Amino acid sequence: MAGLRFRLLIIGKTGCGKTTILSKACGEDEAGKGSESRGVHNIEKALRFKNNDLLLVHDSEGFEAGVTKEFAVVNAFIERRATLEDVSERLHMVWYCVEANSRPLQHAEKEFFSSKRPVPVVVLITKFDMLIQDILQELEGEEENEGLDDDELEEKAAQIAIECFDENYRKPLEALQFPPYAIVTLSDTHKSKPDDSRLHELIKQTVAALKSANDADATTQKREEQRMLGDLFVMAQTADLAAKVELTVIRCMGTGYGSLGMRLIDKKEMIDSWNTCWSSWKGDDSFTWLSKLLQKHVDLSPRLIGHDASPDRLQVQRWTRQLEMAARLEQTVLDSVMIMKHIVLLDAEHIGERAVVERLARWYDGPCKTAVQVRALLMDRHNRNPHATTGLDPEGLYAIIRDLKTEVPDIDLSVGDDGADASQRKGFQAKFGGLGIKGLFKKKDK
């Protein structure tokens, strides 16, 4: 994916929440600065982000009633950008933002979806939480609700908001000639964190739209390109760590890994999936340094299943050779994912500090309870069927991650000596406050 950039068009009127969405999806609070002067708006000028060179965003102000110029500009932009030969110059996705309120779908939305689009479109119903609050205030003033407590009122308001969404947005949009690929609601976007994402469904539906063929006659090459774009978007976005974990597991485990024998995981696939200052395309020796660090504290660790020094070596010897190799691969993937996740959650001041990252890897390879639990869970799963010739599928690995308990790394954030005092550890724990590995994955929608 060297040199590739994911290109997104976001459409929506001023005040609908685009700036907040982009700050979460792109990883910078300054995301909206490039488009603050709304008088002369240039859709051709892409927003670029200092610490995220995989994502380019074009911004459109949306469409006012009776104004056809902006509509024509956006249509021309989409048609031209969607057909460019260079994949990085091509437009890949449209996010169409509509602020939630009690009004029906506007003429602008109906007109936009009256034509077939050459790129997938996802509609974002923004500020859904504010709609619920508005309804709640109305309910509190009605006589018939005087006997309801706060929880019952909030539940009733949420139900009415869902009904409003269905009647005013979902059903009308789905009834249009060329409906969007998906319609998602966004609530409390400003509270979203990578490890507790409020944009989880948006990221999920965007990836699904990218990986779905536009027509049944799509070539193998086209489908491979769609898969690549889906992976690129997951790498580029900063809103949802769960999506990155899933991508990393799939890329590093491969297909049919249980019969491949012992092999080391591809460090490029592992590290690049997280889109950090350690990625291989950054052009310095950071990737090589981190790759060697992971090899030391993961691949060559005495914690590795089947290691000669491990106390349960005799148990592992009862397994088939294929199962032992698969289990080692699973453990190296899970351990590497956990270390990379913690690195990503470091703030901008420390994420690139080698001394801090090295302490983090040493902590995981030493007193970390999560590492012990990863190994114990894998041993338990495979001891149940020692004669198996393949290991766990990706869903089996996700299940292990979901079972992991919360743990805050107990390391020193200072760049100087290794000795961590209580105040430094407290500062680190404050930065990781609320970090819950259990909350990293959302349950699959029914």
Q: What is the pLDDT of residues 112-147, one digit of tens each?
A: 999 999 999 999 999 999 999 999 999 988 888 888
**Does residue 420 lie within any of the structural domains?**
yes
CA–CA separation, 211 and 222 (whole Å): 10
Write down the pLDDT at residue 66: 59
Domain boundary among 236, 267, 282: 236
Residue 293 structural domain:
256-440
**Does residue 244 lie within any of the structural domains?**
no
Q: Both tokens of residue 32?
A: 């909206």
Residues 199 and 273 in one domain: no
CA–CA separation, 230 and 238 (whole Å): 14
**Does residue 245 lie within any of the structural domains?**
no
Amino acid at 370: T
CA–CA separation, 154 and 135 (whole Å): 9
Evaluate whether 55 touches 95 at the Cβ level (below 8 Å): no
Q: Both tokens of residue 81?
A: 């950008």
**Does residue 242 lie within any of the structural domains?**
no
Residue 186 has pLDDT above 80, yes or no: yes
Residues 107 and 196 in one domain: yes
Write down the pLDDT at residue 65: 61
Write down the pLDDT at residue 384: 95
Mean pLDDT for 226-249 is 94
Evaluate whether 238 touches 27 at the Cβ level (below 8 Å): yes
Does the pTM of the predicted model rise above 0.85?
A: yes
Write down the pLDDT at residue 279: 94
Backbone φ and ψ of 10, nearest 5°: -115, 130
SS3 125: strand
> Distance between terminal CA atoms of the chain?
33
pLDDT band, very low/low/confident/very high, at 349 (cuts 50, 70, 90): confident
The domain that holds 78 is classified in CATH as 3.40.50.300
Write down the pLDDT at residue 444: 40
pLDDT band, very low/low/confident/very high, at 418 (cuts 50, 70, 90): very low
**Does residue 250 lie within any of the structural domains?**
no
Amino acid at 432: F
CA–CA separation, 54 and 6 (whole Å): 6
Domain count, the chain: 2
Residue 94 has pLDDT above 50, yes or no: yes
The pLDDT tens digits of the residues spanning 391-404 come to 888 888 988 988 88
pLDDT band, very low/low/confident/very high, at 67 (cuts 50, 70, 90): low
| Averaged confidence pLDDT in the chain | 85
Mean pLDDT for 50-78 is 85
Residues 264 and 370 in one domain: yes
CA–CA separation, 438 and 129 (whole Å): 25
Residues 232 and 302 in one domain: no
Domain boundary among 208, 236, 264: 236
Which helix (H) or strand (E) segment holds residue 99: the answer is strand 93-99
**Does residue 405 lie within any of the structural domains?**
yes
**Does residue 241 lie within any of the structural domains?**
no
Residue 170 has pLDDT above 80, yes or no: yes
**CB-neighbour burial class of residue 339 (10 A; exposed 0-12, middle 13-18, buried 19+):** buried
**351 contact partners, CB below 8 Å, separation of at least 6:** 276, 277, 343, 344, 357
Residues 19 and 164 in one domain: yes
Residues 267 and 219 in one domain: no
Q: Where are the alpha helices (DSSP H) in 212-307?
A: 220-236, 241-253, 267-272, 286-294
Task: Please choose, from the candidates 409, 273, 421, the residue with its C-alpha nearest in 3D space to the C-alpha of residue 350.
Answer: 409
Domain boundary among 206, 236, 266: 236
- CA-based radius of gyration for the chain: 24
Residues 149 and 93 in one domain: yes
Residues 173 and 221 in one domain: yes
Q: Both tokens of residue 124?
A: 């974002």
Residues 123 and 191 in one domain: yes
- Please give, one letter per residue, the 3-state secondary structure of 336-384: HHHHHHHHHCCCCCCCCCHHHHHHHHHHHHCCCHHHHHHHHHHHHHHHC
Residue 149 has pLDDT above 70, yes or no: yes
**Does residue 296 lie within any of the structural domains?**
yes
Q: How many CB atoms lie within 10 A of CB 403?
A: 12
Write down the pLDDT at residue 68: 76
Evaluate whether 364 touches 332 at the Cβ level (below 8 Å): no
CA–CA separation, 122 and 112 (whole Å): 12
CA atoms within 13 A on the CB side of 226: 18
CA–CA separation, 172 and 178 (whole Å): 11
Is the Cα torsion angle 330, 202, 18, 83 positive or negative in sign?
positive
Mean pLDDT for 174-199 is 95
Evaluate whether 118 touches 82 at the Cβ level (below 8 Å): yes
Residues 286 and 388 in one domain: yes
Among 14-23, 219-228, 342-351, 422-431, which stretch is predicted with the lowest mean pLDDT?
422-431
Residues 410 and 271 in one domain: yes
Residues 120 and 222 in one domain: yes
pLDDT band, very low/low/confident/very high, at 252 (cuts 50, 70, 90): confident
